[in-house]
Structure 1
């Protein structure tokens, strides 16, 4: 059972006011001993009268003043010495005050806070808001362990979901921001830069089938320069798995071990790039939305090649070194060579994109440290609540 469920169970029911706790009964027993001691003069007078010949009228005249004196003495001691009170003082509860009819929580320090939707927070508070180190349990969905500033994730932390996903890294104003690692419940992993909760900048995305992309991201998708190594006949784009087909002239190869390096646009190969097939065939040239489109050259393993203008993955117009003037059925081979050079340049840049592995590792280490501190603060907060409510069993925490 999670600490959140334990806390909800512990503070979910209040007992009747007439029922005394075990601590209250023990305190009452100690105070009764003091009462008997203070009433000792009255008891002594009662025993003395039973062995003497004092009549009943004179006994009552002597006994009532002594009893009144002892009772008054006991009352004064209880008023001026709080530790001698007969019953324990009621527990000190968090102070809630209202401004314009709205309740405001003034708690600061370690505390447990229960919310109306079933969520539970354990850790440090400042003016009733999560601030410092703490653990937040989302009702039946996950938890966050780490740093807080003004009721928002801020700093480093670890976020875990019940389905199995997990993020370790940096946060800013409640969103993933900076460097971190996200492990998807499907098995995919993204490690790199984040901005406003999405992968943005340089990073590495590894699919569960072994495919791997290293390069630039923009708002959660591959965009810019990057390299992709394929491991199976399905590829993963934008953290999902979709089909991808390439028509290869004169061959029926699979994409196990194929690589592409070059430009991406909106999660697809777009611009100039170089695609190496596992059978050592290669295409260098222009791409459009994941397909060969524009000027390019396809080289076979036997040394032959096809070059020209490509459309929808198929060679449309072949190139020639000496095209006839004015004809539209041939492409000048020099233009194809220029496109090939553009593709090679883009591929070289893609292989040399900045690596952020070291900064990601530092962010993950800091997130683990912050999560440990949050768990310690949460444990102390629970102990603090137990100590505050020790005089009444299962005393409920105010729900906010």
Structure 2
């Protein structure tokens, strides 16, 4: 029987992923069933222990050696009493023999009692006794509940789940019916699909996510969001490869566009932020500092016509002290405002020199930033493998559904 549930997603700029889903059995219900089973199992064990103890102690073994010893001693005394010749001390000998009989009996009884106390107790000596309920008593009860998938080979861990909004999941289930392991999630109407690894009902690990418009992401996830390293491609041909944090580009990365422009450097919250190197489609190049996706701070801008500017920037415009050099070698130095030189200064001016040195340091550091190509390539390869495993799990889930072997998502 298919179960229909309501799905909630974590909001993200380019990600639509399922978050924690409500399973058919709530956690409290599962805990109650587990507590009830555990209590019933404990009561069965207690009853079995009582039955076993009674079976071992209700009918003690008869003292056959003691009975034979008493009979032999009594017969020996009668022999001396009737057949001993010399009747003067006959009464004395009878009393002596009776004393010996009593002492021997006491010693034999004590020996038998000690042997019975020191004899080890064995359970399950009879196959039909109640002690058979003790099977598994020495096993760890907690491990039997946590590893139920691996111990019970007859239960399927691949299943299909359809949600109220039309989305559906095909793959592995663990931990109380949540998506865990490998699986594929498809959005209604073919709007998108995720194939990869899951943890506790969310994208987690490596996977491949694609959308109907043509966008695609291959890489790492954490908690339902892109996190780690990965490659995101757009239908226009634009792409971003690099670091991700909570669903947005962050850290070192490379942004390339179909028009030939590219940016390699630091990102924060999906924007160019920090040090970076930008190659524009018209041939211009900038290396230096960025803030909030704009050229801001100190850096060097080289124009395609051979001109250049070294100095201070503010939101993409020349602002502060700097030097503009023409391709014929002439230069203009001083204080700039909104891209216009307003206060000319000589090149030897200390403020101009400090701005030029800061711009050159920022430009050099931006060009020398480490690349993350290897990390991205490894993440993409792992995502492709995870997507293949997810497709295999989805095929098994569909086959189980066709064969009527439904996954027990209540475990």
1:166-315 aligned within 5 A: 166-231=216-281, 256-315=282-341
Instruction: Give the CA RMSD over aligned residues.
Output: 2.8
- CA distance in 2: counterparts of 1:222 and 1:357, whole angstroms: 18
Q: Deviations over 1:68-91 (max 9, x none)?
A: xxxxxxxxxxxxxxxxxxxxxxxx
Partner SS state of residue 279, structure 1: coil
More strand by proportion, 1 or 2? 1
The answer on whether the counterparts of 2:156 and 2:405 sit within 8 Å (CA) in structure 1 is no
Which residue number in structure 1 is paired with residue 133 of structure 2? none
| CA gap 1:261/1:135 in 2 versus in 1, 3 angstroms | same
Partner SS state of residue 305, structure 2: coil
- CA distance in 1: counterparts of 2:346 and 2:165, whole angstroms: 71
Stretch deviating more after TM superposition (369-378 or 120-129): 120-129
Which residue number in structure 2 is paired with residue 336 of structure 1? 352
- Deviation above 6 Å: which 4+ runs of structure 1? 98-102
* Alignment pair present for 1:381 and 2:407: no
| CA gap 1:258/1:317 in 2 versus in 1, 3 angstroms | same
TM-score w.r.t. the length of structure 1 is: 0.63
Which residue number in structure 2 is paired with residue 137 of structure 1? 186
| CA gap 1:224/1:162 in 2 versus in 1, 3 angstroms | same
- CA distance in 2: counterparts of 1:283 and 1:99, whole angstroms: 64
The answer on whether the counterparts of 2:220 and 2:230 sit within 8 Å (CA) in structure 1 is yes
Which residue number in structure 2 is paired with residue 121 of structure 1? 169
- CA distance in 1: counterparts of 2:290 and 2:323, whole angstroms: 19
Task: Give the superposition deviation at 1:128.
Answer: 1.8
Which is greater in Rg?
Answer: 2
Which residue number in structure 2 is paired with residue 149 of structure 1? 199
- CA distance in 2: counterparts of 1:281 and 1:100, whole angstroms: 71
Task: Give the superposition deviation at 1:97.
Answer: 5.3
The answer on whether the counterparts of 2:197 and 2:386 sit within 8 Å (CA) in structure 1 is yes
- CA distance in 1: counterparts of 2:403 and 2:246, whole angstroms: 40
The answer on whether the counterparts of 2:306 and 2:327 sit within 8 Å (CA) in structure 1 is yes
Q: Deviations over 1:5-34 (max 9, x none)?
A: xxx9xx99xxxxxxxxxxxxxxxxxxxxxx
The answer on whether the counterparts of 1:108 and 1:128 sit within 8 Å (CA) in structure 2 is no
- CA distance in 1: counterparts of 2:356 and 2:171, whole angstroms: 60
Task: Give the superposition deviation at 1:388.
Answer: 1.1
Q: Which runs of 5+ in 1 are unaligned?
A: 1-7, 13-94, 232-255, 322-331, 391-396
How many residues end up aligned between the 2 structures? 267
Partner SS state of residue 320, structure 1: coil
Which residue number in structure 1 is paired with residue 387 of structure 2? 371
Partner SS state of residue 351, structure 2: helix
The answer on whether the counterparts of 2:209 and 2:217 sit within 8 Å (CA) in structure 1 is yes
More helix by proportion, 1 or 2? 2
- CA distance in 1: counterparts of 2:234 and 2:372, whole angstroms: 20
- CA distance in 2: counterparts of 1:98 and 1:287, whole angstroms: 58
Task: Give the superposition deviation at 1:101.
Answer: 8.5
| CA gap 1:341/1:136 in 2 versus in 1, 3 angstroms | same
1:54-133 aligned within 5 A: 109-126=157-174, 127-133=176-182
